[in-house]
């Protein structure tokens, strides 16, 4: 498929989970992809894309560090000449606990990656897209960015902030050819969910909380991201798209 032929895409947090699915899907549909992650496993994602006949480069990036993010965007342009699509997927959700028991350093780490990291990615991606005439950016939100989630105060706050960053940035750059949206998943069958649950038996309980009766696959979320990156979504900006099996409409 050549849906994204001649497009250059950047995906953060692409070593596994949703980010890997997005990177693989973009490549399958013709994009040249920069795979970014802190984890060396990101190189495997890039290698798998190349093995399937696509073009990809791996860049190690700490999204909470401005110099690292600037270098990531520069590497994308150096490798492939421009930047048309960016998916700011990198995020962490390390702990489930009541608000009063959270430690300051844990909150700082979540906000550094999930909020500052998205802001920094937007900053440098937008700069490059303005230089070349526009593009599409998708930030990874969460159902926790649309409603409150007990025992996840810092994560919930961080994902509400992602939705806010998305809306404010979309207003600023809509007239300059840059569409900026967010995808807000419910529970997704990834390692992050497994780590949060601890007990594999709890997955069925989580699935039952979603009216559709199951948790999402990473590909379910990737398909929504891909649509927002495409020409078919050219009239959509500033939107936080819930892809959550009906979770937040209850």
Exposure of 194 in the CB half-sphere (CA atoms within 13 A): 6
Selecting among 124, 155, 173, 235, the annotated active-site residue is 155
Domain 8-187+216-249 maps to which CATH number in 1.10.10.10, 3.30.420.40, 3.40.50.720, 3.40.50.300? 3.40.50.720
pLDDT tens digits for range 98-114: 999 989 999 999 999 99
Task: pLDDT band for 241, please (50, 70, 90 cuts).
Answer: very high
Domains in the chain: boundaries = 8-187+216-249
Rounded to the nearest 10 degrees, the angle between the axes of helix 153-173 and helix 117-132 is 20
- Mean pLDDT over each residue of the chain, to the nearest integer: 95
Per cent of the chain over pLDDT 70 is: 98
**Continuous segment of H or E residues that includes residue 18:** helix 17-28
DSSP 190: S
Q: What is the tens place of the pLDDT at every residue in 139-155?
A: 999 999 999 999 999 99
Q: Residue 227 above 70 pLDDT?
A: yes
- Partnered with residue 10 across adjacent β-strands are 34, 86
Active site residue 155: yes
- Please determine, for residue 133, whether its predicted confidence score (pLDDT) is greater than 90: yes
Q: Rounded CA gap, 165 and 107, in Å?
A: 19
pLDDT in tens, 167-218: 999 999 999 999 999 999 998 988 777 777 666 767 788 888 999 999 999 9
pLDDT of res. 168: 98
pLDDT of residue 198: 65
Q: Stretch 113-130: mean pLDDT, rounded?
A: 98
**What whole-number distance in Å separates Cα of residue 105 and Cα of residue 172?**
33
Let me know: does 232 contact 223? Beta carbons within 8 Å: no
């Amino acid at each position: 498929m050549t849906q994204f032929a001649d497009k250059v895409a950047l995906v953060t947090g692409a070593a596994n989970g949703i980010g890997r699915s997005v990177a693989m899907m973009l490549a399958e549909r013709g994009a040249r992809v920069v795979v970014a992650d802190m984890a060396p496993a990101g190189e495997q994602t890039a290698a798998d894309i190349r093995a399937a006949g696509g073009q990809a480069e791996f860049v190690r990036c700490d999204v909470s560090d401005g110099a690292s993010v600037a270098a990531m965007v520069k590497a994308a342009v150096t490798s492939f000449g421009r930047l048309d699509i960016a998916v700011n997927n990198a995020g962490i959700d390390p702990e489930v606990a009541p608000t009063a028991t959270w430690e300051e350093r844990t909150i700082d780490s979540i906000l550094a990656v999930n909020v500052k990291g998205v802001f920094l990615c937007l900053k440098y991606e937008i700069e490059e897209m303005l230089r070349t005439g526009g593009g599409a950016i998708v930030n990874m939100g969460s159902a926790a960015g649309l409603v409150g989630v007990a025992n996840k105060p810092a994560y919930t706050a961080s994902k509400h902030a992602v939705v806010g960053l998305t809306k404010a940035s979309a207003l600023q750059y809509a007239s300059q050819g840059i569409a900026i949206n967010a995808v807000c998943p419910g529970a997704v069958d990834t390692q992050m969910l497994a780590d949060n649950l601890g007990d594999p038996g709890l997955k069925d309980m989580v699935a039952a909380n979603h009216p559709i009766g199951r948790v999402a696959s990473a590909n379910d979320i990737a398909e929504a991201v891909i649509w927002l990156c495409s020409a078919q979504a050219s009239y959509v900006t500033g939107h936080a798209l819930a892809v959550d099996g009906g979770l937040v409409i209850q």
